[in-house]
Copies of this chain bind each other. A is one copy, B any other.
Amino acid sequence: MSRVGIRELAAELGMSISTVSRAMNAREDVSAATRERVTAAAERLGYQPNQSGRTLRRGATGTVALVIQTNTARTEMGETFYFSLCDGLQQVLATKSLDLVLLPVGASADPDQYLVNAVDRHLADAYVVSNTHRVDRRIEYLTQRAVPFVALGRGGVSDHAWLDLDFEGVAAHSVARLAGLGHERIALASDDRDITSTFEFVRGYRRALAEHGLPTDSGWEIRVPDMPEGGAILADRLLAMSPRPTAVVLAQETLAIGLYRRLREAGVEPGSDLAVIGFRKNPVCDHLLPSLTSFEVSLDDYGRRLGEIVLGRLTPDCPDDQPVQEVWAMKIVPGESDAHPPREKAAR
């Protein structure tokens, strides 16, 4: 008797493979009745779930590669994101006997060419690419070559799987919070790379300014170099403005380190003279006083979810399933860095 897989089960039930798959995984977008029908048929036909490592669409390596830039300000200031992500990711991959490797793209390498080389050398069966660009040659290349991949960050125009933090939502939430405190001149700071996270962050910022009827000024959208000194450069830009913004939201929270220092050198106190909100709650920023308001994400859970999506790309059973495209919500952790209304309001 030939093996009864998900295709045979779907044919027997007259359902799509996608529906059967969702039912087998007890997804909530499938009715209880459908789930019961599928489960009963699976038992009756002796369905064998195609879930062992052996049946994944895998190449020779048995590895999944997480490709990371090692020449960013965050790696120089202290990387806590990727390493913290690894544990959950690795645990999920291990359930299918897959190993995780990190591919570090150094300062001297071209990220696009690096990825092309990695694929050509078959360094892994599947790839996770990070720091995605809106037009991303890596995503185009992986799609053309039909190499399984997940983008960590939106990007590209193809219909590919991605997982992303909620940059837009965090920026909008930050602006709303500052607006509620009475701030009217709110600046935005990001590094100067053309990556999708920056684009999303700017979008959320502009949307929230409009929603709250707050003024905009293109000069308030400040791009600073992707280096540890970026925060100090940001401070100089803000200090040179007249009238000065009373608050700033940071797309990269590590900018706060140099920002705080340079503001104080100029006699301007972060928090009370300039409200600051950072993106991700990052242990590297934990020493800052006033404590930085920022948004929390469980990198363990995020890594696990990333692992699940990767496994999905390596499981050829459900060809009609849409690639997962998921935005991951983050939770605010209020600090003291935005605890004050703007000085001009306070003085009234």
Interface residues of A (CB under 8 A from B): 61-63, 65, 70-71, 75-80, 83-84, 86-87, 90-91, 99-104, 106-109, 117-118, 121, 123, 228, 257, 261, 283-284, 286-287
Chain B residue nearest to A124 in the complex (CB): B101
Instruction: Tell me whether A80 and B83 are in contact (CB under 8 A).
Output: no
Rounded to whole angstroms, the CA-CA distance of A84 and B100 in the bound complex is: 20
Rounded to whole angstroms, the CA-CA distance of A90 and B114 in the bound complex is: 12
Chain B residue nearest to A286 in the complex (CB): B228
Chain B residue nearest to A254 in the complex (CB): B78
Instruction: Tell me whether B65 and A75 are in contact (CB under 8 A).
Output: no
In-complex Cβ contact of A86 among B101, B104, B286 (8 A): B104
Instruction: Tell me whether B106 and A90 are in contact (CB under 8 A).
Output: yes
Task: Give 8 new A-B contacts, CB below 8 A, not counting A257-B287, A284-B284.
Answer: A75-B84, A83-B104, A86-B106, A87-B104, A99-B103, A99-B118, A102-B104, A228-B283
A109: B residues at CB distance < 8 A: 90
A228: B residues at CB distance < 8 A: 283, 286
A287: B residues at CB distance < 8 A: 257, 261, 287
Contacts A87-B106, A90-B109 given; does A283 touch B101 at CB 8 Å: no
Instruction: Tell me whether B123 and A101 are in contact (CB under 8 A).
Output: yes
In-complex Cβ contact of A108 among B63, B91, B261, B283 (8 A): B91
A107: B residues at CB distance < 8 A: 87
Rounded to whole angstroms, the CA-CA distance of A86 and B83 in the bound complex is: 15
A260 to chain B, nearest CB (A): 8
A70: B residues at CB distance < 8 A: 83-84, 86-87
- Show 27 A/B contacts (Cβ-Cβ < 8 Å), sorted by A: A61-B61, A62-B121, A65-B101, A70-B86, A75-B84, A76-B80, A77-B78, A77-B80, A77-B284, A78-B78, A78-B80, A78-B284, A79-B80, A83-B104, A86-B104, A87-B107, A87-B108, A91-B108, A99-B103, A99-B117, A99-B123, A100-B103, A101-B103, A101-B123, A102-B104, A257-B287, A287-B287
Contacts A78-B284, A283-B78, A284-B284 given; does A71 touch B87 at CB 8 Å: yes
Instruction: Tell me whether B75 and A83 are in contact (CB under 8 A).
Output: yes
Rounded to whole angstroms, the CA-CA distance of A90 and B103 in the bound complex is: 10
Instruction: Tell me whether B91 and A106 are in contact (CB under 8 A).
Output: yes
A77: B residues at CB distance < 8 A: 78, 80, 283-284
A99: B residues at CB distance < 8 A: 103, 117-118, 121, 123
Rounded to whole angstroms, the CA-CA distance of A79 and B102 in the bound complex is: 15
Rounded to whole angstroms, the CA-CA distance of A86 and B76 in the bound complex is: 12
Rounded to whole angstroms, the CA-CA distance of A117 and B93 in the bound complex is: 14
A257: B residues at CB distance < 8 A: 287
Rounded to whole angstroms, the CA-CA distance of A211 and B78 in the bound complex is: 37
**Which 3 pairs from chain A and chain B are nearest by CB?**
A78-B78, A87-B106, A102-B102
Rounded to whole angstroms, the CA-CA distance of A327 and B99 in the bound complex is: 32
In-complex Cβ contact of A90 among B62, B102, B104 (8 A): B104
Instruction: Tell me whether B90 and A100 are in contact (CB under 8 A).
Output: no
Rounded to whole angstroms, the CA-CA distance of A108 and B62 in the bound complex is: 20
Rounded to whole angstroms, the CA-CA distance of A106 and B94 in the bound complex is: 12
Rounded to whole angstroms, the CA-CA distance of A218 and B102 in the bound complex is: 41
